[in-house]
Structure 1
């Protein structure tokens, strides 16, 4: 029984921990429902829900499970001076930055409703960003061995990361997601070794197109591409 209905929620500007707690709450309910369903006959099982959350965070650095603490180049005083917070979290990946002007997406999906392939899931999220960039006239893509979306992928010395990714999944339920630099203050990336990669720069949509894009328009375009790729039925 596949349910491709997906509830879209724009959380706006929200504290990182508050958004994380909200994700965890939805994630746990979905996983718990799947555990209960396994004990029931097909006609008694309840459909699992899907969510797509968009938001922005105040300045924050987050370190994934496999991350290296040395990749944060600020001490407690430095964090305070930058008005930034820091969290060790339960997604994959190393360290990254979130802040105003960055579009963060948290799909909390039961992949049993779509396809049970975490690599395909990541590639679809990347593809949604790549298609959004294309709509703004910018060619972007992937670099072998690295997650996320990059500009100038054919020139290793000039390659720039525009979208970072880090996800967690359990029983094919996903959480965490992507961070797309739209109008981001890129100077905050100078305080970390982004995703543990010290020989690649970061960029933003604003920097690439030479003007500040309308965030609401970017959201609508990206939301459309995610919906199309996953064949979702989005509702607010």
Structure 2
């Protein structure tokens, strides 16, 4: 499919609701908002606000269907940003995987947050492209595993544009280089962690572009002790414009989700 504004040209407005069926029309548009360098807590709160607004529409749609009224299509969003140095611990994570105390965090200019996504501990910071899709999967498909695999696939295809072969490691979420069985140096370049409420997603992916990888040395990344972390800059030996990567990545997401991504 296609992109608009700074990406490309879109097909137009959301699909209308079907009065005959009493079902909301599927909205295959995703509004893309680039937040720049954004504080983690404020971005998390913004995700929660958008998720709550979509869930409220879904509640009203159930009432509308019962009363024979036309339901309202639900919106979809993709938030893109970088964060100041921050460590986040998912619901299944272990606090001991953070190797810094409060003084250590302060010395490195970093903060720490326990959050409500899946997964263990990870790092976000400048030079990393973070994406938070707030999607109503009822507009696409109701399969969280497929959703995760498509996010990974968009990153894999983006890396292929730079001549890098990336893929998945069985049992480990995310995108890896030297990912084949028996490879001597598997390296994670993109981490994923999501939450889904009534088929509405939040949280997302963290794609290392020009990331300061030394910050990963203060955690056990994603609880994995025997594999490394890398970045696009490290692999290519040069700094890569984030806007360039963003353009490629969003294009692949649009194709994979068969959606129109609109800069808004």
Shorter-normalised TM range: over 0.9
Confirm whether residue 204 of structure 1 aligns to residue 231 of structure 2: yes
Contact 1:157 1:200 survives alignment (8 Å):
no
SS of 2:64 mapped into structure 1: coil
- For 2:31, the equivalent position in structure 1 comes to 7
Please list the CA deviations of residues 39-94 of structure 1 after superposition, one character each: whole Å capped at 9, or x if unmatched. 11264211100001100000000000010000000000000000000000000000
Please give the alpha-carbon distance, in whole angstroms, between the structure 1 residues aligned to 2:69 and 2:188. Answer: 47
What TM-score comes out, normalization by structure 1 length?
0.98
What is the rounded CA distance, in whole Å, between the counterparts of 2:123 and 2:231 in structure 1? 13
Partners of 1:86 and 1:126 in 2: CA distance: 25
Partner of 1:186: 213
Conserved 8 A contact 1:130-1:141: yes
1:214 Cα offset (Å): 1.3
**2:5 alignment partner in structure 1:** none
Tell me how far 1:156 sits from its aligned partner.
4.4
Question: Is it true that 1:173 corresponds to 2:200 in the alignment?
Answer: yes
1:97 pairs, out of 105, 123, 143, with 123
Distance in 2 (CA, whole Å) between partners of 1:202 and 1:142 is: 14
Cα deviation, 1:183-219, whole Å, max 9, x if unaligned, reads 0000000000000001000000011111111111011
Does residue 52 of structure 1 match 2:78? yes
After TM superposition, the structure 1 stretch with the greater mean CA deviation from structure 2, 25-34 or 73-82, is 25-34
User: In structure 2, what is the Cα distance between the partners aligned to 1:225 and 1:105?
Assistant: 13
Q: Matches of 2:27 and 2:203 in 1, distance apart? A: 20
Counterpart CA distance in 2 for 1:219 and 1:184 is 15
Distance 1:183 1:227 in 2: 24
For structure 1, list consecutive stretches of 5 or more residues without a partner in the other structure.
none
Q: Distance in 2 between matches of 1:43 and 1:3?
A: 18
How far off is 1:33 after superposition? 1.2
**Which residue of structure 2 aligns with residue 85 of structure 1?**
111
Paired residues in the alignment total 236
Q: CA RMSD in A?
A: 0.9
Q: Deviations over 1:144-197 (max 9, x none)?
A: 000000000124430000000000001000000000000000000000000000
Which residue pairs with 1:130 in the alignment? 156
* 2:244 counterpart (213, 217, 230): 217
Query: 1: CA distance between counterparts of 2:59 and 2:171?
Result: 34
Structure 2 unaligned segments of length 5 or more: list them: 1-24
